[in-house]
């Protein structure tokens, strides 16, 4: 009876490890599997890293600690998965009392573990080998698992690197259009005075594409959410904030002949923000959040855009109208910013702060 229990435990370890590993590596939505070991590892490591970062003031030390987060998560997972598979296959051989070539007495569990490790990494020393058909079959299965595991690792790193690079390139394109402050008014100050609708539509289309790719890649690979060049650099959350603010201002204040692209941008932006809150199990602040602007600054922006020739709606209270749109995502955005230690973009910026004007 005890041997049967260990056999079942071994099978369970192998199946769970393979499912968790492939779920982490493959393009699967991580919000549907909250019991995964990999997801808990990411969260625990980040809470520890976040706690340390909040207590250290030195920028150099903070950056070094931060840049070690993603490599440590990936290294921990790879080592844990490999050890779990090796231990699971060793339990199977030990529980059935498999005979081994190369040992004169009854094999110990340490010898089964050693043989399992040699087989998994396909070292093939030959000092120990299975003597029965059962063991030979399991050795073939373990070799196949080892090859798949190594191939999985080799394919994972370039995929993550390419997705990160693609995100940063898109972020630089957004910065070129919104200015270094990453604000919605920055894009409006640059585009509308020129009345270049072709550029405006092109920017909205590129923004939708970038947001779609970011939504998919970061939900599938949450470790990308934490990663940026350094703690004080421009981050992807600022890009998302600028785009969703731009869509909120446009929909709330402007008379648009065709609001299809801007409506899609608003819907996708708010959905992305809420999806990430769900991904990290965040609970936004209840009640009205603290908005990122004062009423005076908001009215000043309204007047500035009106003078620039925007087709503004005849609103009695433009601030209240804008708040109707912002309140759908502001609390989620603030919770996400606090958890990831990523500052949000401002929604109000002086025109003189936008370069290139």
User: 28 phi and psi, to 5 degrees?
Assistant: -120, 150
Kindly give the parts of the chain with pLDDT less than 50.
Answer: 356-357
For 130, the 3-state DSSP assignment is: strand
DSSP secondary structure code for residue 254 in this structure: B
Buried b (16+ CB within 10 A) or exposed e, 314-350: eeeebbebbbebbeebbbbbbbbbebbbbebbbbbbe
User: 312 phi and psi, to 5 degrees?
Assistant: -80, 145
Residues contacting 259, CB < 8 A, separation 6+? 250, 251
Q: How many residues does this entry show for the chain? A: 357
Domain 2-153: give its CATH architecture: Orthogonal Bundle (1.10)
Q: Are 220 and 23 in contact (CB under 8 A)?
A: no
Tokens of 336: 């996400």
Q: What is the pLDDT of residue 352?
A: 53
Q: What is the pLDDT of residue 2?
A: 63
Among 61, 196, 38, smallest CA distance to 188 is for 196
Q: What is the pLDDT of residue 185?
A: 80
Q: What is the pLDDT of residue 357?
A: 43
Maximum pairwise Cα distance, the chain: 93
Q: Are 119 and 89 in contact (CB under 8 A)?
A: yes
Domain ranges, ordered by start, for the chain: 2-153, 179-353
Q: What is the pLDDT of residue 356?
A: 47
Q: What is the pLDDT of residue 25?
A: 81
Residues contacting 199, CB < 8 A, separation 6+? 191
Q: What are 312's strand-pairing partners?
A: 254
């Amino acid at each position: 009876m005890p041997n049967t229990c260990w056999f079942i435990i071994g099978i369970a370890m192998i199946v769970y490890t393979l499912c968790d590993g492939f779920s982490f590596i493959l393009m699967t939505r991580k919000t549907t599997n909250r019991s995964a070991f990999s997801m808990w590892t990411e969260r625990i490591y980040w809470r520890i890293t976040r706690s340390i970062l909040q207590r250290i003031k030195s920028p150099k030390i903070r950056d070094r600690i931060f840049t070690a987060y993603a490599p440590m998560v990936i290294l921990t997972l790879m080592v844990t998965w490999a050890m779990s598979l090796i231990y699971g296959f060793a339990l199977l051989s030990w529980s059935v009392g498999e005979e081994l070539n190369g040992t004169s007495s009854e094999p110990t569990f340490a010898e089964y573990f050693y043989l399992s490790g040699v087989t998994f990494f396909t070292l093939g020393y030959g000092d120990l080998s299975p003597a029965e058909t059962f063991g030979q079959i399991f050795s073939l299965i373990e070799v196949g698992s080892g090859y798949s595991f190594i191939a999985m690792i080799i394919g994972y790193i370039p995929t993550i690197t390419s997705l990160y690079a693609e995100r940063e390139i898109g972020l630089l394109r957004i910065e070129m259009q919104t200015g270094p402050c990453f604000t919605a008014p920055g894009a409006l100050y640059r585009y509308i005075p020129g009345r270049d609708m072709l550029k405006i539509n092109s920017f909205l289309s590129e923004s939708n594409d970038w947001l779609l790719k970011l939504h998919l890649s970061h939900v599938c690979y949450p470790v990308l959410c934490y990663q940026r060049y350094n703690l004080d650099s421009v981050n992807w959350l600022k890009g998302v904030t600028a785009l969703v603010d731009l869509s909120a201002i446009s929909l709330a204040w402007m008379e648009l002949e065709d609001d299809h692209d801007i409506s899609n941008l608003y819907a996708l932006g708010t959905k992305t923000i809420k999806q990430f809150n769900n991904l990290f199990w965040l609970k936004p602040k209840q009640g009205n959040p603290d908005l990122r602007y004062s009423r005076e600054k908001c009215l000043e922006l309204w007047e500035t855009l009106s003078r620039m020739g925007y087709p503004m709606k005849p609103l009695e209270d433009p601030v209240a109208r804008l708040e109707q749109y912002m309140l759908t995502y502001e609390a989620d955005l603030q919770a996400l910013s606090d958890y990831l230690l990523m500052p949000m973009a401002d929604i109000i910026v002086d025109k003189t702060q936008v370069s290139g004007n």
